[in-house]
Amino acid sequence: MDPHLLRTFVTVAECGSFSAAASRLGYTQSAVSQHIAALENDLGTPLLSRRPVVPTASGERLLEHAGPILLRLDAARADVRRTVADPPSTLTVAASPLAARSLASRLAEVRRSHPGTELALTVCGRAEVVEGVAAGTFVLGLTDGITAPTDPLHLSDAVHLHTTATSEEDLAVALPKSHPLASRRGLSLGDLVDARWIDAPDLAAPLTALRAAAGSDALHPAITYNGTDLHTLLALIEAGHGLAVLPRSAVTEDLAAVALTNPRLVHRTELVRTDLATPAAKSLAATFSNHQ
Amino acid sequence: MDPHLLRTFVTVAECGSFSAAASRLGYTQSAVSQHIAALENDLGTPLLSRRPVVPTASGERLLEHAGPILLRLDAARADVRRTVADPPSTLTVAASPLAARSLASRLAEVRRSHPGTELALTVCGRAEVVEGVAAGTFVLGLTDGITAPTDPLHLSDAVHLHTTATSEEDLAVALPKSHPLASRRGLSLGDLVDARWIDAPDLAAPLTALRAAAGSDALHPAITYNGTDLHTLLALIEAGHGLAVLPRSAVTEDLAAVALTNPRLVHRTELVRTDLATPAAKSLAATFSNHQ
DNA sequence: GGCTATTACGGAAATCGTAACCATG
DNA sequence: CATGGTTACGATTTCCGTAATAGCC
């Protein structure tokens, strides 16, 4: 199970096509075909059904492992490189959209205390934050998500990264002020199974997470927002397209924010970091452990 | 970073010798030398200092990742094989020594409810339990360890295995009845920094774990017992070689068992399993979730 | 028939063993 | 000088691209 083979396997599975994966990886169709054949031969079972190209049951199982393995391989390389390369002059930080809100002021503080360091801030998806930190692209990352109070976020199981909680905040259901439920003191997910939902999985609490927390499959999106801009989401809510679950502080005055009381969930943001860091990185990380 | 190269790297690091690793792996010295050279060339830094053969700082970092990666690779293969192979007729179970105590009666129950199945019980080290389950050698495993109450055990970070707590039990300091502290109602680790300790890392709470929990480096072993037989350890304690921390139920009447009150720790045993299982395996697992 | 995966084949590269070489204790 | 890691070199295998073949909408 050569990592190269695993990599083409996951790429093919993602693309749903041998030729697309080939061009993405810089191989020929033929090479990709041979890679898959080699893997299937090694494991003694078909991993993909062809035409359409879809993972078999065995392929699904392999996919669950392949990603984490590849990620950890990258992490290992990055970790070793870090012991030999001299510390980077620019502080690369990543954050998921909601987690990024708390970053501007802290970065300003770093700029003051460490005038020499260049800063690079990347806002990207929650998975990319963790993967980027693991792979060494970022020295520091902030992710957010919902969990039960004091429970850690369920990050990728691939890498044992240092993670520390930086804040927990109450969740609120964001509604237009004219919404019949807007005057409620608290809401439970059970009250909302028939509501119109906006699923904004890259920004707010993803509906899949809420379903898992509620133990119900009932929540269905009236509209999906595949974007990361908070103002756009709030505008969609205000326009009556539906409601969403957000950390209370993310809901502006134009909207009603009703506490989500049941199940008991919080919005948690966590700091993910590589083990070593420049003084600037350390001082940024310290910003979090001090203020809270 | 070919898995083969990683494997020879960890083997060399374990053996402290190229030639020993070569014979263990069925390679030539030369091949091993080439493997290491290839790795060092790929990563651009020496991984081992020669004569004596010891990992460099970079090598240490790589070692932290290599084991888990290799383990997960095995887990992937086993997971895929399980989807294609027909379910095994013999129920292979592993347990660490202290965890194994609760197994005999439960296995008898399985034998009653599933008369056809053959049983295979392996008692081995805690790491081997987890690794064996990950690699598919065992369908089910029981490990034990000490943690703060309700905290999960810190198993290998390599594999995301299904783990469920099966029991938590108070810890006790096992002492000869004649020991001056034997009459105490409770003891804290702080009281015991100057005591004579028996370190039995494969059986009782390892001193390293206690040190980490106490936040002190003071605990030093007067004797180390590298074995897994509880009676032998208890005899050592009774003979006055030192004391050890055990789950209360493991300490027999011949000895004094004083509750360990500070820090607040428990002896926890966890069930580790592969995701699928035969009916017999399911019923064995159910034995644990039912009884508590 | 067009699109896409597979197979056949050949050149380049990698792998591993034999054996000569070298360094350290 | 002997033990043990390194280097040189060659046979074998593997890998990947070109090109021809085959299978599904």
Cβ A73–B77 below 8 Å, yes or no?
Answer: no
pLDDT category at B290 given cuts 50, 70, 90 is: low
Q: Is the dihedral of CA A11, A13, A18, A20 positive or negative?
A: negative
Contacts of B57 in chain A (CB under 8 A): 83
Element containing residue A278 per DSSP (H, E): none
Q: Which CATH superfamily is domain B169-265 in?
A: Periplasmic binding protein-like II (3.40.190.10)
CATH class, B3-72 region: mainly alpha
Cβ B83–A57 below 8 Å, yes or no?
Answer: yes
Domains B3-72 and B169-265 agree in fold: no
Element containing residue B243 per DSSP (H, E): none
Cα(B221)–Cα(B237) distance, rounded to whole angstroms? 13
Is residue A263 reached through a cis peptide bond, with omega within 30 degrees of 0 on the bond before it?
A: yes
* pLDDT score of B86 more than 90: no
Q: How far is A230 from chain B (nearest CA, A)?
A: 33
Query: What pLDDT is stored for residue B292 in this prediction?
Result: 44
Let me know: does B144 contact B240? Beta carbons within 8 Å: no
Let me know: does B65 contact A27? Beta carbons within 8 Å: no
Element containing residue A3 per DSSP (H, E): helix A3-15
* Nearest CA-CA partner of B194 in B174, B175, B222, B226: B222
Whole-angstrom CA distances from A213 to A89, A145, A146 are 42, 12, 9
Cα(A267)–Cα(A287) distance, rounded to whole angstroms? 19
Give the E-state strand segments of A152-292 in sequence order: 162-176, 186-188, 197-199, 221-224, 244-247, 255-262, 266-273
Strand partners, B280: none
Nucleotide in closest CA–C1' contact with B51 = C24
**DSSP-derived 3-state class of residue A162:** strand
Q: Residue holding tokens 């397209």?
A: A241
Which residue pairs, CB below 8 angstroms and at least 24 apart, start in A109-113?
A: A109/A283, A109/A284, A109/A287, A110/A280, A110/A283, A110/A284, A110/A287, A113/A280, A113/A283
Partner residue opposite A58 with nearest CB, options B66, B75, B80? B80
Taking only the tens place, the pLDDT of each residue in B66-81 is 999 999 999 999 999 9
Nucleotide in closest CA–C1' contact with B17 = D4
pTM: 0.86
Per-residue pLDDT of chain A (292 residues; tens, 9 = 90+): 999 999 999 999 999 999 999 999 999 999 999 999 999 999 999 999 988 889 999 999 999 999 999 999 999 999 999 999 888 888 999 999 999 998 988 998 888 888 888 999 999 999 999 999 999 999 999 999 998 888 888 887 767 788 888 889 999 999 998 888 888 888 888 888 888 899 999 999 898 888 888 777 778 887 899 989 999 999 999 888 989 999 999 998 889 889 888 888 999 999 999 876 788 888 888 888 765 4
Interface of A with B (CB under 8 A): 1-3, 43-45, 47, 57-58, 61-62, 64-66, 68-69, 72-73, 75-77, 79-84, 157, 159-160
* Nearest CA-CA partner of B239 in B222, B226, B227: B222
Domain range annotation of chain B: 3-72, 90-167+268-291, 169-265
Rounded to 5°, angle at Cα A268 from A230 and A281? 90
pLDDT category at B183 given cuts 50, 70, 90 is: confident
| The CATH number of domain B90-167+268-291 is 3.30.559.10 | no
Partner residue opposite B72 with nearest CB, options A61, A69, A84? A69
